[in-house]
């Protein structure tokens, strides 16, 4: 995103009913510029040592609650991805597959991959699916 404008970031925050703060603008800017799944460590690296860790957690929680980002189900590291939808009026759906490289830890959303329908016994009700495919990314398999 070479032509990322502050007005676009502010519009995106307002559209998701999030208060405009310098911290939220900074975090969203990192997601938009990097355009990939970001771990907490990666976010800290790009935001710098002066960025308060508690503020980062609160910002990520607010973004997740409003459907701006979603958390990647991973037992090893907390990671987040920017939700890519045409409109915020969508029914927010985080139940999609992810791919994680076992060599470099690159993680990407696989929105185009269909998750198989899981039929549970009647006494159970599914609320969320965690579907991660692990393997080697294009760079690591060379």
Please tell me the distance from the alpha carbon of residue 66 to that of residue 92, in angstroms, as a whole number: 9
Please tell me the distance from the alpha carbon of residue 114 to that of residue 96, in angstroms, as a whole number: 7
Closest CA to 106 of 38, 49, 56: 38
Closest CA to 92 of 114, 67, 56: 67
Residue 100 has pLDDT above 50, yes or no: yes
Q: Which of 43-47, 98-102, 106-110 has the highest mean pLDDT?
A: 43-47
Beta bridge partners of 134: 100
* Cβ atoms of residues 100 and 134 within 8 Å: yes
Domain positions in the chain: 6-135
How confident is the model at residue 17, as a pLDDT? 94
Q: How far is CA 119 from CA 63, 108, 124, in A?
A: 31, 26, 10
Specify the 3-state DSSP secondary structure of 74: coil
How confident is the model at residue 4, as a pLDDT? 56
Tell me: the pLDDT tens digits for 1-46? Answer: 434 566 789 999 999 999 999 999 999 999 998 888 888 888 988 9
Residue 127 has pLDDT above 70, yes or no: yes
**Where does 6-135 sit in CATH, by number?**
1.10.10.10
Tokens, residue 22: 């310098």
The residue among 82 and 21 whose pLDDT is bigger is: 21
């Amino acid at each position: 995103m070479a032509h990322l404008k502050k007005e676009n970031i502010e519009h995106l925050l307002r559209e998701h009913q999030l208060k405009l703060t310098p911290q939220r603008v900074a975090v969203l800017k990192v997601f938009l510029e990097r355009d990939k799944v970001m771990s907490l460590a990666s976010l800290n690296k790009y935001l710098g040592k002066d960025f308060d860790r508690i503020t980062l957690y609160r910002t990520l929680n607010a973004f997740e609650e409003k459907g701006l980002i979603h958390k990647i189900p991973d037992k090893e590291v907390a990671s987040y991805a920017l939700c890519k939808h045409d409109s915020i009026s969508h029914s927010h759906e985080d139940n999609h597959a992810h791919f994680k490289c076992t060599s470099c830890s690159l993680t990407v959303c696989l929105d185009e991959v269909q998750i198989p329908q899981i039929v549970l016994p009647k006494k159970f009700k599914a609320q969320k699916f965690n579907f991660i495919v692990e393997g080697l990314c294009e760079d690591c398999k060379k």
